[in-house]
Each structure stands twice: as C-alpha cells, then as structure tokens.
Structure 1
Amino acid sequence: MTTSPAPAQLTTEAEDDAKLMRQLEEELKNSALDEDEEMSISSSSSSSSASINLQANMLTAAEQLLADQGMLHGVQIFFENQFFEAQRIFASQEQVNPVYALGSGALAFMKACMTFNESDIQHAIKTLQQAEALCNAQIQAAPKKTVPLMASVSKLVSSGWSYFGYKDSSAKSSKHGSPAGTPAPPLPKHMTNGEIRARVIRAESLLLTSLILLLQESIMSYLKAGLNLRKGYKSYENVWAEFKTMGNELNTLVDNNTRGGVYFG
C-alpha cells in the first residue's frame, strides 16, 4: 500500500522547483545580453568586472611575445613538476593580467578535478571567473575597429559639410580632445592583438568553468555549464571570423601564442 507525500513535502519540492526556474531564467537573461558575447557576463562575475578598470592592451605581436616570457617560464616549470613555483609566478599578476589569471585558474581546476572537494571546486570557479572578468574589462577598453559602412557614411557627411563651406565638427577642439585642426587618431582596421587575446583567454576560461561545473552534478550546474560552453564557442567563432578578414596580415598582427590558442579552440 502506497502513501501519498505529506503536504509539507510537496510544498518544499514546489519551492525548490520555483527557485530553480528563477535561477535558470536569470542565467538565460545574462547569457542573451549580447549576441556578440562581449557583454554576456555571467551573474557571478558581472559585479567583479564592473569594479575592474584596466587599460587596453595595445602591445604589438612582437612586444606581446616578449611580455609572455614570464608566463611561459611558469608553464615550463609546471611541466617539470615545480607546481608551487609555477603557482607563485601565476599569482604574481593574476589580478591585472588575464593570461596569468588563466594560469592560476588552470591549476585550481586540476586540483578540483583530483580532490572533488567542494571548497576546491568553488575556488577554481572563482579564479576562472576572475580571469573572465579581466578579459571582459580589456575587451571593453579596446579601441573598436572601423566598420566599413559607418566609415563610408561618416566620410560622406564630412564631405557634404565641406562642400557647403562648413567645417567638420570633428576638427573642432573639445573639452577632452586635441586642438582644432588636429585630426583624431584613426580607428584600427582590425581588432587589436590585445582584444583578440582577451577573447581567446575568455573562451578558455569559460571552457574550464564549464568542465568544473559538471563536477557538482546538479541540474543548475549542468545548465550553467551549457551556457558557458555556448559563450566560449561564440568567442572563438568571432575571433576566427576576424582571422579570416586579416588574410596575409595575420602573422604580423597576432602573436604566435594567441594564434595557438585560437587553433587549439
């Protein structure tokens, strides 16, 4: 003879289901903020990125390779079983440099996969979200490339004003700008190497976050993992599309380490 669940038990299950649906709705809303993925920041990392103020990474490909020497040394000694020294190197710049934050996140990810300890899992997620937040800050700070249609319209309007004897308003001095007659610096033709790099690191952080979420074995974690995988895929997709527009300039504009990250993805 079967017994029906008590009313209190049914109420608790209904409340849990409602809470789960609210969390899922919030995650879907954050994931769909921007189809271009740069503003689709998860609710857990949006507050962190809002407080981060980073300058755009304007290093050239050659300069970036030189700047990566410290990080590469950390990776090398990690594979030589010097784990604590590698962790020290990654932690030295994890608050300001996305690739160092990714290194710390990768170490935390491996520890969580080996221990299955909830505190280690949460630490890995937090560290990887810090890397994602740093990438979002650099993406937002980067100068945006010229859009061909908008550039043509702007040039046409400027020519029209000149034809009728009016000076282009962009040539006038502003309270923040340069003196009158000084042309504004041209917008880049492609994404900067720094922005591409930030998008790649962001995608790799999202991938590792998705994998670590699967260890929690809950419905919400599975859903979050799927959303993070989608955001990471969009990030890789946008960078790959940018690579196609660069043509023969790719090897000059993008450093080897960043290209390797894209090919890996």
Structure 2
Amino acid sequence: MFRDNIIAIQSVDAKNIPANDLGPREQEEADEPVREGMQYLFDNKFMKAKATFQVKASIDPLYALGLGAMAFIKDVEMAMAALATAYTVAKSQIDNSGFKKPLKESLSQYFTSFLSSNSTGLPASPPPTNVASQRASTQREETPHFIPNGVLRAHVVKAECCLLMSVLQLAQESVVGYLKCGLNLRQAYNSYSIVWQEYKRMGQTYTQYMDRDTVSAIQFGIGTVHLILSSMPAKILKIFSTLGWKSDKQLGFALLKVCMEGQGIRAPLASLTLLAYYSILTSFTPQLYAKEMMGPAIECLLDAQKHHPNSCFFLFFAARIARVARNMPLSTQSFTFAAESSRGEWAEVAMKQMSDYEIGFNYALQLDWERAASYFEQLSREKYWSPAFSKYFVGACYEMLGRRTEGILAFAEVPQLAKDQQGRKTYIDAYVQKKVEFFQRSGYQDMDFSLPGLELLLVMNAFEQMDKESLEKSLALVQRTLELIYDREKMEYNIRLRELVPATTPPDYYDQRAILLLIKSSVLNALKRHKECIAHLNWILDHKHCLKVESWVVPFAYWESGVTSWGLGNIRKSRKLWQLALACTKYDFEYRMAVRLSLAINKCDEAGINFIEQKPSKGLTTNGRKRMPIVHASSC
C-alpha cells in the first residue's frame, strides 16, 4: 500500500543522504525522471508516477517531494507525513553539503534585509554594487561565489514542503490550523529568501549557476504565497505578521503564469494553484467574482488541458467552472469523467469520493433531493471528510422530500458521528450537531418551520449557482413555510386571549423566521431582485437580540445586506456592512465567513473608492450631537 511506502521513507538515515554537487545542466538531465513522473501524475498514471518517485525518494529531496505531492491528493495525514519526510531529506542534504557562506557576506545580507523597508512583496534584494567596486572585486576574484545549485535546489524543496503543509493546515479552517499554517509559511519564506537572494545576485547570468526547475520553483512558491496571503482576512493576517511580505495578488498571478509558461516540473502544479484560487473566488463570493474570473479560469484550464487533456484534476476543475456558469448537466458529467479517468489507479477512491460529494451537491442545487440523498448516504458510510455532515445532509434531503421519519432517523445518528471526530472536529461538525440538538428540543415537532436543505445551500452561498426555475421554486417553498409560522403564532396568541395564565409559553419562533427570511433574501439576491430583500434583512437585524440559538444568522444577514447594497450600486454601504459582519465572532462559520468577507472587501477596495470620510467643519450640530457625514448614493 502507498501508506506503507511513506512509512518506509520516514526511516531514512539523515547522515547517509549524499550531498548534491551536480551543476545546473547536469541537474536538469538528472531530473528528467522526475519530469516524467509529473507527466505520469497528471496523465492519471499514478502507479507509474509512484514507482518513479520511489526510486530515489530516500536520498533525493525532489523525488521525496513528488511522493508528498501525490499523498496531498489522497489523505491529509499521509500527506503531512510524506511532506515532513521530504523536508527532512532536503534539510539533511543541505547539512551534509558542507557549504557555509562567508561570515562577512551572511552578516551583510542579514543587516541589509533587517534594515530595509520591504514593500515589494518579495524577499529583500542585496544592495546594488557600484561599478568601481565590482571591477575591483572582479580583479581580485574572477569566479563569483554563489551557493551551489544542489544546495539551492534542496532549499526550494524544503520551502515547498512547508508551503504545501501550510495549505493543508489552512484547509482545516480552525484557529490552530491557521497558527500552524503561519509557522509553516514563515519557514517557507526563510528558505525561499535564501534562493531569491542568490538568484538576484546572479543577475542575467543566473542560468549558469541555477537549473531551470529550481528557478521555476521560486516562481511557483512565491506566487502561491502571495495568493494565499492576499485572500486572508486581517484577523488571520495578524498571525502571519512576522513574515515580512506585503501580499501582492497581481504579482502572485504573474509569477504563477511565468511558471506555467516555462513548462518545467512545477508547471501543472502552478495551473492547479491558479484554478484552485479562481474556484475559491467564484464559490466563496460568486456575486462579486463569478463574471470577472470566468474568463481567466477558462483560459487557464484550456492551457492546462493542452498538455494533460485527460487529467482527472483538470476535469474536476472544469466541472467546478461549469457549475459557476450554472451548467449543471455539464458540471455533473465532468465530475463523472474525473472519477472514471482514475478508475483502476491509485487515486481511484479519493477522486470518486470527491466527485460524488460534488455531484450530490449538484443535485441539491437542482432540488433533486432524492439523488442528493443517495450520494451523501454513500459518503457517510465511507466516512468521507465529515460523516456527520453527510448524514445530516441525508436527513435534510428526506425532510425536503416530506419523508420526515427517515429524516429524523438520519438526524439521530449525527451527534455520535460528530463525537467520533474528536480532535478532527470541523466547523461543519459543530454546526450540524447544534442543528440536530435544536430540532430535538421540540421533539422534532417544529420541523415544519425549517427547510434544512435550503439552509445548507444558504450557508454554502450556493444560490448564485442555481437556475432561475429552481430559485423560483425555493422562493415559493420559503414563503409557504413562513405562512406556517404565522398560522402557529396566531393560534398560540388566540389561546392567550381566551385563557388566563395558559400552560403554553408565548410563541418564540424568532430563530426559524430569521433563517427563512435570510434564505428568502439570498434567493432574491440571486434573482437580482435586490430591493425586495431590504425589509426582510432589516427584520433580522432589528430582532437580532431575540435570536437565542442561531448566532451565525447575524453575520450572514450583514453579508446578504452587503450583497443587496452591491446589487443596488451602493458599494460604500456594502463595505460598511461587510465590516460589521467581520466584527462578529464566536460562531460556527466564523473563519470561513472571514475569508469570504475579506475577498469582498478587497473587491470594494479594488473599485478605487476612497472610504476615508471627511470630518465636518463644525464638530456639533445645533442640538449638541456630533454631526455625521452625509453619504449620497450618487457619491459612490
């Protein structure tokens, strides 16, 4: 099994890892098998790729990184172990090289980096050398001293291991995950800085001293770090504040595109990174980025598929792009092809589960709850990602179908499944567990007032991907459910008109009504009927103090209010509302929503709006209150 091979690699003897003294051209020739291994990997020939990488994985860091990249696809724990092993091999090769930079040069570089004000978004460059001193240096010593190519190559592999581990930790969407991500990004930064300094010192002659795949590795690594940092909200960026980089999204795009065009070992990884970034933008904030990013995403995909037309990875992203374009049949077909293309190979199970999850979600977007339930039932049995979430999704589908008994039986399994996650419990596990507990308080008697299937689409910000007919059906269903709440409230208030001190408590359906109004507003926003949202969102925010259970509703209401304002052309108001959402804390979707809000606020800032309001010339109005600036819609 692949896992056994990873464990075997971890037992390597660091002292016996040979130093790498190959020159750039010799290295490029020696790395040809790795290049072939990457071709196998992206042509769905996983067993051949694994066999190729395993040949020297215990002594060569780039081969070990290849195995780490493969494990990245299949299993988080396996990937972390494989990447840690590759890191050890790279570090050992550096330590065993015997190369030490001159002390004077190291100190000079350190103080230059420390004292410089770095706003370029890249590791600091060495100070310029004047012509006279350069000539004198040339006369003293004709051959410049650079770190050997083998050591530079090991440094970028070490950095890339940290970078890939940080991505895995970032995907956990937890405080601990972000902290670990920050530490790994800092380690990656340190190694990339060493190579970048040498690359800049080499100037136009860098090809004489560095192999082309090490150069492309710098482009890939620094470009990826910039895209990661540019999408992070301020509260998370504080964790990364010691990095010394100022994120630059455009520079990140440029470096990754240069890496792709070079067609080196990391070119397909650069394509995947860009596609993943486009996917995040268009799925987290489709209201703002879907139209803008659709063109670049398709261009990137077509370019990648020229070189790997049947790659299951690129087919998977083709399906994600088709979903954003609201072409569900094409999306489902592409997910199916992605799974089938890896059949009989090492990644078969992983790709099938990923595709099944997305196909099940596609059916939910089409309100085909029967088929969606069958997919998530299978995923729950296979314990994919979050079994508790999958089982809750099954219960939600049955409830949407009117099969309440089956839905309740599915919900009843959720708490134990969430408990079984233990240390791996995610934000979504916490959410579904609380939802079931909420249903259980009334003995499932108030299920008529909830639409759990549509609520899941709401929290995933998925209504933008539904077609108009499905949106209209959802809107009608929400309206009928709101009327049921009104009828129940009317009945219970009538009892209080007839009986003195009745045994029943006053009606309290604020949480249910708030969620339904939030769903309704989100659907209306997706239909571009923005003005109709205003009254519903105002009701939620006016009654936020009445919400006892669903703490996530308030920041989501601010989010939808911002979307409404954006649709009405009031971008300044959108930004203020999203800032209010960002101030909300301690709810299940906090960090996922924080990323969404950060991307939205960045979009506002890109619009070139000056949000610094001018202070009034007089501090007080005639009634003694502080004067507030007047903002007109036309000023936006």
TM-score over 0.5 (shorter chain): yes
Residue 173 of structure 1 corresponds to which residue in structure 2? none
Residue 224 of structure 1 aligns with an amino acid whose one-letter code is K
| Cα distance, 1:225 vs structure 2 | 1.2
Which of the numbers 29, 40, 50 marks the counterpart of 1:87? 50
Gapped regions of structure 1 (runs ≥ 5): 1-46, 112-119, 151-186
2:182 matches 1:219: no
Stretches (4+) displaced over 4 A: 47-52, 147-150
* Structure 1 residues 243-258: aligned runs within 5 Å: 243-258=199-214
Contact 1:65 1:256 (C-alpha < 8 Å) held by counterparts: yes
Which of the numbers 56, 62, 70 marks the counterpart of 2:33? 70
Residue 237 of structure 1 aligns with an amino acid whose one-letter code is S
Distance between the aligned counterparts of 1:127 and 1:213, measured in 2? 15
Distance between the aligned counterparts of 2:41 and 2:183, measured in 1? 31
Gapped regions of structure 2 (runs ≥ 5): 1-9, 107-142, 222-636
Higher relative contact order (CA 8 A, sep 6+): 1
Contact 1:145 1:188 (C-alpha < 8 Å) held by counterparts: no
Contact 1:207 1:232 (C-alpha < 8 Å) held by counterparts: yes
Classify the secondary structure of the residue corresponding to 1:62: helix
Classify the secondary structure of the residue corresponding to 1:87: helix
Residue 85 of structure 2 aligns with an amino acid whose one-letter code is Q
Residue 188 of structure 2 aligns with an amino acid whose one-letter code is G
Which of the numbers 174, 184, 192 marks the counterpart of 1:228? 184
Residue 247 of structure 1 aligns with an amino acid whose one-letter code is G
Contact 2:159 2:189 (C-alpha < 8 Å) held by counterparts: yes
Contact 2:166 2:182 (C-alpha < 8 Å) held by counterparts: yes
Residue 18 of structure 2 corresponds to which residue in structure 1? 55
Residue 97 of structure 1 corresponds to which residue in structure 2? 60
Distance between the aligned counterparts of 1:247 and 1:148, measured in 2? 21
Deviations 1:92-136 (A, max 9, x none): 22111100111100011112xxxxxxxx21111010001111111
Residue 130 of structure 1 corresponds to which residue in structure 2? 85
2:218 matches 1:262: yes
Instruction: Return closer, same or farther for 1:95/1:148 CA change in 2, 3 Å cut-off.
Output: same
How many pairs were matched up?
175
Contact 1:97 1:134 (C-alpha < 8 Å) held by counterparts: yes
Deviations 1:200-221 (A, max 9, x none): 1111111111111234444333
Residue 157 of structure 1 corresponds to which residue in structure 2? none
Classify the secondary structure of the residue corresponding to 1:93: coil
Instruction: Return closer, same or farther for 1:149/1:251 CA change in 2, 3 Å cut-off.
Output: closer
Instruction: Give the alignment's TM-score, normalised by structure 2.
Output: 0.26
Instruction: Return closer, same or farther for 1:208/1:149 CA change in 2, 3 Å cut-off.
Output: closer
Residue 159 of structure 2 corresponds to which residue in structure 1? 203
Distance between the aligned counterparts of 2:83 and 2:215, measured in 1? 21
Instruction: Return closer, same or farther for 1:80/1:50 CA change in 2, 3 Å cut-off.
Output: closer
2:96 matches 1:141: yes
Contact 1:146 1:189 (C-alpha < 8 Å) held by counterparts: no
Instruction: Return closer, same or farther for 1:79/1:49 CA change in 2, 3 Å cut-off.
Output: closer
Residue 165 of structure 1 corresponds to which residue in structure 2? none
Distance between the aligned counterparts of 1:260 and 1:202, measured in 2? 15
Residue 44 of structure 1 corresponds to which residue in structure 2? none
Contact 1:131 1:205 (C-alpha < 8 Å) held by counterparts: yes
CA RMSD after TM alignment: 2.4
Distance between the aligned counterparts of 1:188 and 1:135, measured in 2? 25
Instruction: Return closer, same or farther for 1:58/1:188 CA change in 2, 3 Å cut-off.
Output: farther
| Cα distance, 1:58 vs structure 2 | 0.4
Residue 71 of structure 1 aligns with an amino acid whose one-letter code is V
Distance between the aligned counterparts of 1:126 and 1:258, measured in 2? 23
